[in-house]
Structure 1
Amino acid sequence: MERSITIVYQSLELVASVHYPCEEKRKQKEKCWPVIIICHGFVGNRIGVNRLFVKAARRLAAEGYFVLRFDYAGCGESNGEYGSYGIDSFIEQTRYVLDYVLSIDCIDKTRVFLLGHSLGGAIARLTAERDTRVNALILWAPVAHPFADITRIIGNDAYEEAMRNGETEYSGYRLKKEFFISLAEAQPLASGAGFLDDALILHGTRDEVIPVDACYLYEGVLRQQITGECRAITLEGADHTFSTISASELLFAHTCSWLQQLETRKKNWSDWII
């Protein structure tokens, strides 16, 4: 089952879609569901290129997860002006979404995952650094250097225009000077507190938007900070949005397999303690 909801963030409304878990898929029905929140990338939306996030959410719900995908302010159906906000605002919006899902009685607060793609991966990482309620990360082709990566995408001329005139236009979005300043201050690869249990990083070898090297950079940092497992996997031939059927299916398969191994490991550990 799926439905649309609205989450209030300050004076804005963030539009989201929730996917309820398919309980028949789980061997044992649980009173509480693990939750996955999907964070889209730069000037993206909760649908994704080639419906990537729709397909991912349905696949994950079929595996027994409560999934929420949402539009950041100024994107998709959410109101606001995307380029007027900085990274701190995107982190705060993500935390408002966390507030919403964790207010639901049937959510397992010990199994809270953030799944971020591209710039959404960097935002998920930075959110987890600040919010101990996040237990694990799933990063798909994450941005490693927000300022360098995004300015490369839009072009140096557009960036210089924003610095000179206060804003620039990219793909129909107004990007303010303050947006770029916040990107320069964001450091998702900086060392920090080890609040996370586990992390998975997946990246295509033919990603021409964010180099596959970002996968290994994240792996190196997260291995030092998490208490559980950090796994990095490269998908041969996949591009930045995993746009082919074979790439997206492989992406989902690796993600679901990792989640299943995680649950099995934690169940075995729990049984051993008992």
Structure 2
Amino acid sequence: MQKAISLTHNGVELRGMEHFPDGEKLPAVILYHGFTGTKLESHRLFLNISRALEDKGIASFRFDFLGSGESDGDFKNTTVTSQLAEAETIFNYVKSHPLIDADQILVLGFSMGGLVASLLAGKINSQIAKLILLAPAGTMGKMSETIKGMIPFVAEENAFDIGGNLIGAKFYEDVKAIEVWEQAAKYDGKVLLIHGTKDQAVPFTVSNLYIEHCYGENATLHPIEGSDHTFNSHQHKKDVIESIIKFV
């Protein structure tokens, strides 16, 4: 069963979808989308993941971060730190849900959502049963200066224009200040990393850096050979979903 839901974070609404198979005290997966993405993600990837999980008796929750998709807020105010706080609010909502087994909550993040998920896992550690990172943007802070130099600046908004989305200048200062490896390494559960070998947005090597700096033998890296950042082929998407189901 799929149903629209919302919850309040700092007085504004996060809007999302929940997917429930029959049963009680169910395991659950929380999905965090990427930068400028939504709870659907490209070619409905998140929806397809949620439906596949439901077919296996696993609940899932996918929300739009504030300023994205159908949630309240202005994208211009987005930072990694603000999304981390929203991600924790979502996690606590799922953890307190009467139909969910609070000891069997997995977290999945894609791209910047993967960065956020890795930081959340480091913060709350054992509350997360397993962690799934799809092309996680762990080096976003290091890349931000290069990226910023390539994006038009809108002076009257004090923001950068990213394909029609305005992002505030404070975004870059925030992400540069985050000690990603130090924070992410505090998570000691099992981790699955899935990454396209031809990813031009977040290089494949970033997943190896997560293993090297954070997870070691607790992590498994599943390469999607020839895939781009958003797994833009039927076979690549199928491979991603099958890998997730097997790990869960």
Question: Could you say whether these structures have the same fold, taking a TM-score greater than 0.5 normalized by the shorter chain as the test?
Answer: yes
Which whole-Å CA distance do the structure 2 matches of 1:156 and 1:180 have between them? 11
1:149 and 1:210 in contact (8 A); partners too = no
Which whole-Å CA distance do the structure 2 matches of 1:11 and 1:191 have between them? 28
CA apart distance, 1:164 = 11
2:161 maps to what in 1? 169
Aligned with 2:228 (options 239, 250, 257): 239
1:180-237 alpha-carbon deviations (Å, 9 max, x no partner):
111111232226664432110010111111110011111223334xxx8311111111
CA apart distance, 1:140 = 0.5
2:190 maps to what in 1? 198
Larger radius of gyration: 1
Which whole-Å CA distance do the structure 1 matches of 2:183 and 2:82 have between them? 21
**Residue ranges of structure 2 left out of the alignment (5+ in a row):** none
Which whole-Å CA distance do the structure 2 matches of 1:163 and 1:41 have between them? 26
Which whole-Å CA distance do the structure 2 matches of 1:15 and 1:166 have between them? 27
**Residue ranges of structure 1 left out of the alignment (5+ in a row):** 24-28, 260-274
1:156 paired to 2:149: yes
Q: How does 1:91-106 map to 2 (within 5 A)?
A: 91-106=84-99
Q: How does 1:113-152 map to 2 (within 5 A)?
A: 113-132=106-125, 133-152=127-146
With the length of structure 1 as denominator, give the TM-score of the two structures. 0.84
Which whole-Å CA distance do the structure 2 matches of 1:163 and 1:187 have between them? 29
Q: Structure 1 186/89 Cα, relative in aligned 2: closer, same or farther at 3 Å?
A: same
How many residue pairs get aligned? The number is 247
With the length of structure 2 as denominator, give the TM-score of the two structures. 0.92
Amino acid across the alignment from 1:75:
S
CA apart distance, 1:238 = 1.2
Which whole-Å CA distance do the structure 2 matches of 1:4 and 1:221 have between them? 38
Q: Secondary structure at the match of 2:77?
A: coil
1:251 maps to what in 2? 240
Q: Secondary structure at the match of 1:168?
A: strand
Which whole-Å CA distance do the structure 2 matches of 1:192 and 1:239 have between them? 24
Q: Secondary structure at the match of 2:27?
A: strand
2:177 maps to what in 1? 185
1:162 and 1:176 in contact (8 A); partners too = no
CA apart distance, 1:151 = 5.0
Q: Secondary structure at the match of 1:234?
A: strand
- The list of structure 1 runs, each at least 4 consecutive aligned residues, that deviate by more than 4 angstroms after superposition, is 162-165
1:90-110 alpha-carbon deviations (Å, 9 max, x no partner):
011011101211111221111
1:99-126 alpha-carbon deviations (Å, 9 max, x no partner):
2111112211111111000000000001
1:7 maps to what in 2? 7
Q: How well do the aligned residues superpose, as a CA RMSD in angstroms?
A: 2.1
1:148-206 alpha-carbon deviations (Å, 9 max, x no partner):
34555x551437x4799732211111111111111111232226664432110010111
